[in-house]
Amino acid sequence: MSGIRSVTVDSVYDSRGRATVEAEVTLESGAHGRAAAPSGASTGVHEVAAFPAGGVPEALRTVRAVLAPALLGLDAFDLSAVDQVIHTTDGTPNLSRVGGNSATAISVATALSVAGERGVPLWKVLARPGLDGTKFPAIVGNCLNGGRHAIGGPDIQEFIAYAEDPDPARSIRAALRVHTLVGDELHRRYPTVALGRGDEGGWVAAIGNVEALELLSNACAKARDELHIAVHPGLDLAASEFFHDGRYRYKDRNLDLEGQVAFVAQLVDQYDLRYLEDPLDQEAFEGFAEVTRAVGNRALVVGDDLYVTDSHRLERGIERGSSNAVLIKVNQVGTLTDTLRTVDLAATRGIATVTSHRSGEVPDSWLTHVAVGTGARALKCGLLGGERMAKLNELLRLGRATGSSNHAR
């Protein structure tokens, strides 16, 4: 037992320069943990509220006045009891009083304080049964941005390098190589245009969806040839963002459900996609099942906005066969305990988990420990920018610590 002595919160900036909540939890022993919460842009409608109506200032006021006092003296080692008090003190179904980001920051800071007291890395505090920190996630690396993360780019939100190797250093190297090759090719095709980068560090160019996918696919093939590492194309369509009045409205096509299912299934075939996130709208449980049937096990079909890391929504998806994978974002659902409930449900039902960042990130590395501690199939954390690199570099360190990994090159 180690009682919580203090919980303090304050505001810090995320990678988009917007304020978010950072929490520090100190135990009676003096051990402490600090964590900040990220924020999304293409948020699912079923996510908890990131902040109360009054934004970060109101979140800070409410935590200081009501939540922090309620947490004092609780046993930090009993994380589920701590997280339960966060929910009961908030008292709303979607954490709209204290804000999901406050809940995430406090929950993670509590787990980090326990890691500090035990003298172990965070992944060990979170470790699911049978996991010993030697199973490392594949890398879901965003190479080209569109949708809400890059104005002027393709409609599809993320063009991804999916790199899978038992050695995380090799997966990271392959995904980074694809990012570089995509940039080189864009520079070659558009020599007089200054290329930008989107919210997650992927390139931004005014090109169409299919042209972007072709370019990505060629870059993956080149990286495979050079490095002999399994790296293949993937997509996060974030389809809820361009689904209006029952149709999927791209700049160059307008599809009903059937058309969209056929379109994405054909992309999987033609480009050998291994990763397919949110191919349909966030309510399309049945449609997802059609996609999953069409794709089989050739690709991870991943529900993000569909499930919002909520175990009840995942249960609905499992009953219908909606997907073979679920995206895991702690602040979509609030606390680590809520997150682990969903992870454990996925594990018992044979659904792969993909631990994910948000488009507005903080330069923390706790996310990497969530991935390793929960045995995630993949870690989605972007490829460039200090806030993304913090997570990749932490994965390199964890790989080296177990002796299963090589060095950065």
The site for ligand 2PG (CB under 6 A) is made up of 40-43, 158, 200, 236, 238, 304, 356-359
Q: Which residues pair with 247 in a beta bridge?
A: 244
Number of Cβ within a 10 Å radius of residue 262: 14
- Cα–Cα distances (Å) from 63 to 3, 102, 183, 243, 247, in that order, read 18, 8, 44, 36, 42
Contact with Mg ion (CB under 5 A) among 117, 164, 236, 361: 236
380: annotated active-site residue: no
Please identify, using beta-carbon distances, which residue of 165 and 304 lies nearer to ligand 2PG.
Answer: 304
- Strands (E) in 147-270, as ranges, are 158-164, 196-197, 203-204, 230-236, 243-244, 247-249, 254-255
The interface region with Mg ion, picked from 207-215, 229-237, 383-391, 395-403 by CB under 5 A, is: 229-237
200: annotated active-site residue: yes
Task: Provide the Cα torsion 247, 249, 253, 257; round to 10°.
Answer: -30
Catalytic residue among 47, 185, 241, 329: 329
350, two tokens: 């044979």
Give which of ligand 2PG, Mg ion, none residue 377 binds (C-beta under 5 to 8 Å, depending on kind).
none
Q: How far is the CB of 230 from ligand 2PG (least distance, A)?
A: 22
Chain-centre distance for alpha carbon 371: 10
Q: How far is the CB of 63 from Mg ion (least distance, A)?
A: 28
Give which of Mg ion, ligand 2PG, none residue 104 binds (C-beta under 5 to 8 Å, depending on kind).
none
Give which of Mg ion, ligand 2PG, none residue 110 binds (C-beta under 5 to 8 Å, depending on kind).
none
| Per-residue burial over 267-306, b = 16 or more CB atoms within 10 Å of its CB, e = otherwise | bbeebebbbbbbbbbbebbebbbbbbebbeeebbbbbbbb
CB 322 within 8 A of CB 306: yes
CB 213 within 8 A of CB 159: yes
Best CA proximity match to 394, nearest among 354, 358, 362, 365: 365
Give which of Mg ion, ligand 2PG, none residue 358 binds (C-beta under 5 to 8 Å, depending on kind).
ligand 2PG
Residue least distant from ligand 2PG (Cβ): 40
- Residue 83 as a binder of Mg ion (CB under 5 A): the answer is no
- Residue 200 as a binder of Mg ion (CB under 5 A): the answer is no
The interface region with Mg ion, picked from 12-20, 23-31, 286-294, 297-305 by CB under 5 A, is: 297-305
The interface region with Mg ion, picked from 59-67, 259-267, 303-311, 378-386 by CB under 5 A, is: 303-311
User: If you compute the radius of gyration of the chain from its CA atoms, what whole number of angstroms results?
Assistant: 21
Contact with Mg ion (CB under 5 A) among 304, 361, 364, 394: 304
Q: How far apart are CA 225 and CA 219, in angstroms?
A: 10
Best CA proximity match to 141, nearest among 103, 176, 101, 106: 176
Give which of ligand 2PG, Mg ion, none residue 359 binds (C-beta under 5 to 8 Å, depending on kind).
ligand 2PG
Residue type at 104? Answer: T
Q: Which residues pair with 354 in a beta bridge?
A: 327, 378
The interface region with Mg ion, picked from 61-69, 124-132, 233-241, 313-321 by CB under 5 A, is: 233-241
- Tokens 């948020």 sit at which residue? 43
Please identify, using beta-carbon distances, which residue of 359 and 405 lies nearer to ligand 2PG.
Answer: 359
Q: How far is the CB of 97 from ligand 2PG (least distance, A)?
A: 22
Give which of Mg ion, ligand 2PG, none residue 40 binds (C-beta under 5 to 8 Å, depending on kind).
ligand 2PG
194, two tokens: 């200054």
Q: How far is the CB of 39 from ligand 2PG (least distance, A)?
A: 7
Catalytic residue among 200, 290, 361, 394: 200
Which residue numbers are catalytic? 200, 329
